Amino acid sequence: MRKKRNIKIINVLHLEEEKYAKIRDYRNQEYVRKVSVNTNPITVEEHLKYLELLKKQDNYFAFLITRDDEDFGVISLKKFSDDTYFIGDYLVDELSKYEGGGIVNRICISYIASKLNIKYLKTMQNKNNTRSNRAGGVKTLKVVSLNNNFNDVTAIVDDFYSPDTLDSKPRKLFDKLYEISGFIF
């Protein structure tokens, strides 16, 4: 049996300046921007302002997901209420979607939510982002069509430790292939 791949979830506040700059590069890739609410490239100034919001650690959080110490995905959260956050997530390499990227992000989202006591996630989901629509990682509560391009989605986060989650097909696949070896908050 092949060795499980090592997953780490790292708060971006613990990244060195060069690594934080890579987050901006990842977000500005065409395949990420074309399914984002804001399709414009993020400027250096905007990226630095976001870092200042993250430093307050009260309403904003962002995490870099690594797989075998290689950057894999990014998950960002903005507090909406005590138990509800807006979420944005993407893979740093478009080809990772063929390597179980949706499953990795789904399980990491569930893990982070358990640590931050998040029960619900809200997102603006691009209707053309079919991978997100299939692998969103949560139980959808409500979908409201905002326009031709986006839905406003509210969802219940999978409880990382519940028997239902542990017995789910995505979780079984994740546990077979991956291991979360670190959560650096």
Cα atoms in the 13 Å half-sphere on the side-chain side of 91: 21
* Domain 5-183: homologous superfamily in CATH: Gcn5-related N-acetyltransferase (GNAT) (3.40.630.30)
State what percent of residues in the chain have pLDDT above 90. 56
pLDDT per residue as tens digits for the range 55-65: 987 899 999 99
- Exposure on the CB side of residue 19, measured as CA atoms within 13 A: 17
For residue 77, with 0-12 CB atoms within 10 Å meaning exposed, 13-18 middle and 19 or more buried, which class applies?
A: buried
- Give mean pLDDT, residues 159-181: 91
Q: CA 14, CA 62: separation in Å to the nearest integer?
A: 10
pLDDT, tens digit, for every residue of 9-44? 999 999 999 999 999 999 999 989 988 888 899 999
Helix residue ranges, H only, 5-97: 17-27, 30-33, 44-55
The answer to whether residue 134 scores a pLDDT higher than 60 is: no
